Structure 1
Amino acid sequence: MDGPDMNYDAVQARILTEIPDLSSELRKAARFLVDHPDEVALVSMRVLASRSEVTPTTFVRLARRLGFTDWAAFRKPFENRLRSGNAPFAAKADALVLRGPEAIFVESLRTNAANFAAAEAANDGKEIARACAILERAQHVRVAGFRSCRAPAHALVYLCRMFRRDVTLLGSDGGSLEAELAALDRKDAVVVIGFAPYSRELGPVVETAQRHGVPMIAIADSIAAPIARHAEVTLRFSTDSPSFFPSVAAALAIVEALAATMLARSGPAAAARVRATELELQGLGAYLPE
């Protein structure tokens, strides 16, 4: 299908197919377009360039690479998608304008509220069910998240271990990540969590899982993320923040919701294991007396 004849779904599919072969600058622009389709239809190319931190001509080159004569032709499927009312989620919040230190706290809370809403809209029930099914079938679930994504990775492991013992955090044993990866089995499952720029340690995790045929679930900021390329399911979160550093609040919300969904699907037996685990923790003095 030639560029002028492509609808939005075809354009998105073409972008995802082309991304691995694009230059770093074109790849950056392509990821932004995939994740912000409403903005493509609503704002100027100059504004898109500013928000994605590429030059306007990068978008023109990308449009031509994808088979369109110019930017206006490339933009048309995005406009038609928005006009049809089939947008998968509402447009992201406009770029925040910092109004001094007094505003940052409130802006952070509001932005994360928008991130939660975006996560709810971007991850439908079918994808959640697929992710749960993969984890339920696995004889061992291994979770990878590094640097700021260590928090949601650790949270997923901690919550799941309340009702099942076969969930572990990769890279937690004195730096022996390679030894842990060597033990991967195709009956296992791997969860990888990350956002751009993606932690170097995620590379060998993804490569090893792919090589051994281990099913992967990606929790990422983009469906075009390198950690999502070979994942069976990708759950997406926004990192928007008025702070100097991207937010992982929505990633934490996703892992909490995923663990809760898994528990609900597992039934009374899983609830009984939570009760037993809680009693054991109390007996070990894990909590301060009230």
Structure 2
Amino acid sequence: MTSFATAQDKILEELPSLSTELRKAARFLLDHPDEVALVSMRVLASRSEVTPTTFVRLARRLGFGDWAQLREPFENRLRSGSSPYAAKADALVLRSARETIFAESVNATAANITAVTTTNSTNDVEAACVLLEKAKGVRVVGFRSCRAPAHCLVYLCRMFRNDVTLLGSDGGALEAELASLDRGEAVVAIGFQPYSRELGLVTDVARRRGVPVLAIVDSMAAPLTRDADVILRFSVDSPSFFPSVAAAVATVEALAATMLTRSGTKGAAKVRQTEAVLTALGAYMPD
């Protein structure tokens, strides 16, 4: 598979020798990489003032079998999160088939969730459960959009164990919370590229204090994995301008369900007790 950097270098290398028409198309690819991934060849041709077949000829001139092969590294670049959100938004609004974006987003989300089971093996899930089961307390952390899966994991786990807490929830005093992080606890860190700066602080403190880390991330190359004892992965692919966190939520939901199953009747009894307390306190609206 050709990387975006390789494709970019190839275009730059061939640029001086291209015809005027091909050079115009090539320059457009270099200057508007997000649009290449998100809009049709016909729209690209209109925007760059060349014919659609020009892009086909350019792909073959650069050594690609067809336009789809040349476009692929641009699509992979966008999926990886290496492009700014604003640029993705700009490209998104230029789409001609705007009515399809809703269905495309839902389908991408479904594919991401399905991929969770193939990306993470049974051994990976078991290792994650064992790490959390051995801990006398679990600190869960996720910032910005990853706050949602982090909060979800805490809420679900607290239905059957009281020692799971959300880091960074005390008025932003993250450093103060980390001061009490103790050996024997565990940290669950959730993130995707670009990774929130605060995650590095959390995993660094955990490493220095000998606290095991479960990283739930979008890539094995994530900075969090360097300090992680166990890694679970999720995909953030989306045709939208922002990475999807749906698979991250699905991952933590499945992890919590697996943990409860492993806890046996004691865990089920705790859920029953917690539910009764919530009901008594009027947490739910009456039917």
TM-score, normalisation: structure 1: 0.68
Q: How does 1:226-265 map to 2 (within 5 A)?
A: 226-265=223-262
Give me the whole-angstrom Cα distance separating, in 2, the residues matched to 1:140 and 1:159. 15
Looking at structure 1, the residues matched to 128 and 259 of structure 2 have their Cα atoms a distance apart, in angstroms, of 9
Shift of 1:46: 4.5
**Native 8 Å contact 1:144 1:191 kept in 2:** yes
Report if aligned partners of 1:240, 1:246 keep a CA contact under 8 Å in 2: yes
Q: What SS does the corresponding residue of 1:151 show, helix, strand or coil?
A: helix
Deviations 1:82-115 (A, max 9, x none): xxxxxxxxxxxxxx99663321221111111110
Moved more, 146-155 or 222-231: 222-231
Moved segments of 4+, more than 6 Å: 42-45
Q: Aligned partner of 2:223: which letter?
A: P
Q: Is the 8 A contact 1:98 1:104 kept in 2?
A: no
Does 1:156 pair with 2:153? yes
**Partners in 2 of 1:46 and 1:235 — Cα distance?**
31
> Aligned residues: percent identity?
61
**Pairing partner for 2:181 from 179, 184, 189:** 184
**1:51 is matched with which residue?**
75
Q: Is the 8 A contact 2:138 2:185 kept in 1?
A: yes
- Out of 126, 131, 149, the residue aligned to residue 128 of structure 2 is 131
Unaligned runs of 5+ in 2: 1-64, 79-91
Structure 2 residue corresponding to 1:112, chosen from 109, 115, 118: 109
Note if 1:173 corresponds to 2:170. Answer: yes
Q: Is the 8 A contact 1:216 1:231 kept in 2?
A: yes
- Could you tell me which residue of structure 2 aligns to residue 16 of structure 1? none
Report how far residue 47 of structure 1 moved.
4.2
- Corresponding letter in the other structure for 1:171: G
How many Å apart are 1:48 and its aligned residue? 5.0
Match of 1:220 among 185, 196, 217: 217
Give the whole-Å Cα distance in 2 for the aligned partners of 1:99 and 1:232.
46
The alignment covers a number of residue pairs equal to: 208
Deviations 1:147-198 (A, max 9, x none): 0000000000000000000000000001110011111112000000000000
Provide the rounded CA distance (Å) in 1 between the counterparts of 2:96 and 2:285. 41
User: Helix, strand or coil: the match of 2:197?
Assistant: coil
Task: Return the letter of the residue paired with 2:188.
Answer: V
1:52 CA displacement: 4.2
Cα distance in 2 for residues equivalent to 1:49 and 1:148: 26
Q: Does 1:140 align with 2:164?
A: no
Q: Partners in 1 of 2:279 and 2:181 — Cα distance? A: 33
Q: Do the aligned residues in 2 keep the contact of 1:216 with 1:230 (CA within 8 Å)? A: yes
Partner of 2:37: none
**Aligned 8 A contact 2:218 2:234 in 1:** yes
TM-score (norm 2): 0.69
Change (3 A) 1:117 1:174: same
Q: Which moved more, 1:42-51 or 1:201-210?
A: 42-51
* Partner secondary structure for residue 244 of structure 1: coil
How far apart, CA to CA, are the structure 1 residues paired with 2:95 and 2:114?
22
Higher CA-based Rg: 2
Alpha-carbon contact 1:139-1:188 (below 8 Å) kept: yes
Alignment check: 8 A CA contact 2:146 2:245 kept: yes
